[in-house]
Amino acid sequence: MQVELRVQRFDPSENDEAWWGEYVAEVEDNGRVLDALHYVKWFVDGTLGLRRSCAHGICGSDAMVINGRNRLACKVLCRDLKQPIKVEPIQGLKVEKDLIVDMDPFFAGIAAVKPWLINDSPAPAHERLQSPAERAKYDDATKCIQCAACTTACPIFWTDEEYVGPAAIVNASRFIYDSRDEGSRERLEILGSKGGAFRCRTTFNCTDACPRGIKVTERIQEVKRSILFRKM
């Protein structure tokens, strides 16, 4: 099938202004937006810049704004969208070229909440055991692929550069509620301070944007409660 695309283009080495590239791509009937962008890059204009890797919704590298919504280009079928399909870079991060944005501030927000297991107790003879009920407490957060669809859909993140963003809070919650972890107090301290979870105004854009179906706002509210009721 033929697909009409309007893609936001920007190359700071050529022009200070962004512009709209209009293209017609050939894709299979079940072709995804990523396939249409590949067609443009490979057969129409090789200068188009975009990130992608797995092409199967796992790596999180191709989040973009598709017909006004944050989506993964590899997870959206062209036939389900109104044409011309409008494709723009995710918002709130500096555009480096076309659909490629500077992800450093996003990953800095995640790194700030220490998203790794902290446990300084002597290691047991075998593994650190965990019951199915304990594992279930943080299951939702394990699905995150750090695609930034949530954070770049958040109006607070767009305007407040101190806010770590919803993805960082989800990644913190992955460890805060892990029974094997001993770093919760430290993470809650970070998330209870300026730029932390209370910057969230519960607008739910993040939950709507998440391609993994994570209940992002619920995770944030859970963390807010833990901050308020933690033992100092």
Please tell me whether residue 89 binds ligand F3S under the rule CB under 6 A: no
Would you give the binding string for ligand F3S spanning residues 122-161, x where CB under 6 A is met?
Answer: -------------------------------xx-x-----
How many Å apart are CA 83 and CA 126, to the nearest integer? 57
Is residue 73 part of the contact set for ligand SF4 (CB under 6 A)? no
| DSSP category for residue 124 | P
Number of residues that bind ligand F3S (CB under 6 A): 14
Among 44, 56, 203, 228, indicate the residue that binds ligand F3S (CB under 6 A).
Answer: 203
Does 78 bind ligand SF4 (CB under 6 A)? Our answer is no
Structure tokens at 19: 């512009």
The residues near 220 (Cβ < 8 Å, ≥ 6 apart) are 166, 169, 170, 197, 200, 202, 206
- Number of chain residues interacting with ligand SF4 (CB under 6 A): 15
Q: Does 50 bind ligand SF4 (CB under 6 A)?
A: no
Site for ligand SF4 in 181-210 (CB under 6 A): 209-210
Contact 86, 67 (CB under 8 A): yes
Stretch that binds ligand F3S, among 17-25, 116-124, 125-133, 203-211 (CB under 6 A): 203-211
Q: Coil, helix or strand for 66? A: strand
C-alpha separations of 20 from 24, 98, 120, 224 in Å: 13, 10, 53, 41
- CA distances for 24 relative to 113, 132, 156, 210, 212, angstroms: 43, 50, 36, 28, 30
Q: Which does 205 bind (CB under 5 to 8 A by kind): ligand SF4, ligand FES, ligand F3S, none?
A: ligand F3S
Tracing tokens 């399909």 back to the chain, one arrives at 85
Binding residues for ligand F3S, rule: CB under 6 A, are 153-154, 156, 166, 200-206, 216-217, 220
Binding residues for ligand SF4, rule: CB under 6 A, are 60, 144-150, 167, 170, 209-210, 212, 214, 216
